[in-house]
Amino acid sequence: MSQSNQYRPLQEKEIEVLTAQGCTALNWNQIEVTDGFNPAFVHHVHFSGAVHLGAFEPVSVEEAGIPRPVGLYHLTLQDVSIGDNVRISSVRDVIANYTIEEGVWIEDVASLQCDGQSAFGNGTLAAVVNENGKRAIPLFERLSSQLAYLLAMYRHRPLLLERLRHLINDAIEETKTPKGWIRKNAKILHCGVIRNVCIGPAAVVDGALRLENGTIRSDPSDPAFVGPGVIANDFILCEGCRVRNYVILRRCFVGQGTELSRSFTAQDSVFFANCSMGQGQAYSMFAGPFSVSQHKSTLLIAGLCSFFNAGSGTNQANHMYRLGPNQQGIFERGVKTGSGAFLAWPARIGAFSIVLGRHNEHLDTSDLPFSYIIERPGESVLYPGQNLANIGLIRDQIKWRQRDVRKAPTKLDAVISDVMTPYIARKLKRGIQLLTDLLSRNPSGSESVSHQNLTIGLPQRGLELYQWALQQYLGRVLIRRLSSQKFISLIDLRDKLTGSVNLGEGDWVDCGGLIVPSAVLETLLLDIENERIDTIHAVEMRLQSLFKNFAEYEWAWVKECLESELGKPVRQWTIEDLLSILENTRNASRQIVLAQTEDAKKEFEPAMQIGYGIDDPEQFASEDFAAVCGTLEQDPIIQKFQSQLDQEKKIIEQLTEKLKALQ
């Protein structure tokens, strides 16, 4: 955009041309232009206050293949700065107190106004997770899932919260300006009232009904889009998001690559990277990365989730309170709910579990991940580990990696999308201990045992699945480590396996999608509390560093587990020890793969062919089903799954030969 020192007053001839073209001004002397200004491109414009105009060239913009000239047509401008080759037409009321950069296109808008000094949605408090507002977090345009998690969930550390709020407030003060801004090449088309909203470069706002007090982050590599019928108040939208089709938002943050559509309604909620929400409602929800809800009858309220998939009619009850809406719920990462699933808050559902039916007891299944939780008359029944045998788990991990659509140069959220991590493996170990204890107190061969408010079905099968999954995970991490290292002797190999850090040992946490050792996170939190970190940008960089070092931290944890399992430190490991781990990994994988393959076969059983070959099912059902659904061997998920298994088998064989050569 042209700089202020390049502006000059209007010439008399230019004023004459503007007047002849239906333009008026309260004071022509307050209008300044650049040397490239051409009055031929300004028609029926009323000027008020200080207005700065850039150059206009004989170029055009297009909508639906129809070219339209740049320039200013049929509008009122008050205290506005406009860059080069902008097209603004048919603003029914006024554009006031805005800086509009070059290449912007504004067409058919009710009004675009800034009321003075504003933070444009930054600093708005959203009452996430708990409706009583005691976990409220400040929205701001660089909010990440990790920062939001610390702000919402670490209320037991008031000094940490005070310091984080102080650093965020410093960043928010930098966003305050007396004028709004529309960045380079943004488009605002066919909209209603837009008030106190800043819009980033290349963003498209098309058909929004009303936007107030917000910021739309955008980047030419990943434009934000706000579409028809949207109403939003007190909001932050990020690069690559899609908010359209009559969505209503109030006090919400929408993260990078997230889509909200089809009359979805949300209040006091945050949606981080790659979420997808349609038709339902969310109130006081912390939706971590890859959370999905696509059904009209679904209500998500007062909870935290990530990698979550809500079935139709999913609902939670937090209204059975005496002293206010203090109840809240936690869906640990990867939870799915079936149609009509109901949970009474407070509750905490273990990672990668599937919830079916209604559950009125206050469940805590956090030590029993990968479970099926189903309703039986008068009780909730949990089948531990059964989701490990579900081929859908493989599909989920594949699709999460494919559905990361973020293209912006800076990715705000640090996301570990792997199903198996030290965080999950720790839960497997706790689940193994819990089931072992329960089985020891019950008769041999028990089909079910009781625990808290649950009946646990098939505990022995769950124990086996947990043990196989843990063994498979530990071995796979070792395989990755061995495959990434070059070694010429056992001593050299031991040095490489020792690793560069020991900071992954101990417990781990899921910090808003970032899997991180508790001890490492604690160091960061202490640095914030003790003012060794003095900007929010420095906090962001430290969180990104934790993300980049995940593999080293993960190996440190796995190494500790394997040392405990073998009963000796890595520097005493033998070739036989390593070969034993590889063989155990192969056996564990074989058991889990067998279970997952059997699960996949269910999709092709005769019962699944009901409705196929409609006019003669006895003769044509199989052929019709195969034409529509293919075969097990043709399924792309199965093919990718099998390819990964074949590659793993090949690597194990190569490593086995390489290790034997060192003997």
The closest alpha carbon to 388, from 590, 595, 585, belongs to 595
- Given a contact cutoff of 8 angstroms between Cβ atoms, the answer to whether 236 and 121 are in contact is yes
pLDDT in tens, 214-250: 999 999 999 999 999 999 999 999 999 999 999 999 9
Average pLDDT over residues 368-388: 95
Task: For residue 544, give Cα distances in angstroms to 144, 273, 439.
Answer: 11, 15, 43
Going through 258-371 in order, the beta strands assigned E by DSSP cover 259-261, 265-271, 276-278, 281-287, 292-293, 299-305, 309-310, 315-317, 329-331, 336-337, 342-344, 347-349, 354-355, 358-359
What distance in Å separates the CA atoms of residue 401 and residue 510, rounded to the nearest whole number?
18
User: Domain 120-167+180-290, what fold?
Assistant: UDP N-Acetylglucosamine Acyltransferase; domain 1 (2.160.10)
- List every span in the chain annotated with CATH 2.160.10.10: 120-167+180-290
Residue 119: its H or E element = none
Angle ∠(481,483,485) on CA atoms, nearest 5: 70
Q: Which long-range contacts (CB under 8 A, 24 or more apart) does 296-301 make?
A: 296/263, 301/131
Average pLDDT over residues 576-581: 95
In which band, very low, low, confident or very high, does the pLDDT at 274 lie, cut at 50, 70 and 90?
Answer: very high
Going through 428-550 in order, the beta strands assigned E by DSSP cover 448-451, 454-457, 508-511, 514-517
Is residue 634's pLDDT more than 90?
no
The closest alpha carbon to 366, from 415, 330, 323, belongs to 330
- 1-113: CATH number: 2.160.10
pLDDT in tens, 79-128: 999 999 999 999 999 999 999 999 999 999 999 999 999 999 999 999 99
The closest alpha carbon to 505, from 467, 460, 561, 424, belongs to 561
Average pLDDT, the chain: 93
> What's at 19, amino acid-wise?
T
Average pLDDT over residues 61-79: 90
Q: What is the pLDDT of residue 4?
A: 47
- Could you give the percent of the chain with pLDDT greater than 70? 98
- Given a contact cutoff of 8 angstroms between Cβ atoms, the answer to whether 357 and 341 are in contact is yes
Q: What is the pLDDT of residue 3?
A: 44
Q: At which residue do the structure tokens 């792997």 appear?
A: 418
pTM, two decimal places: 0.94
Task: For residue 404, give Cα distances in angstroms to 216, 255, 262, 270, 565.
Answer: 20, 12, 21, 18, 36
Q: At which residue do the structure tokens 């509390």 appear?
A: 529
- Given a contact cutoff of 8 angstroms between Cβ atoms, the answer to whether 42 and 23 are in contact is yes
What distance in Å separates the CA atoms of residue 147 and residue 421, rounded to the nearest whole number?
21
- Given a contact cutoff of 8 angstroms between Cβ atoms, the answer to whether 512 and 145 are in contact is yes
Q: What is the pLDDT of residue 490?
A: 92
Q: What's phi and psi for 159, nearest 5 deg? A: -65, -40
pLDDT in tens, 152-181: 999 999 999 999 999 999 999 988 999 999
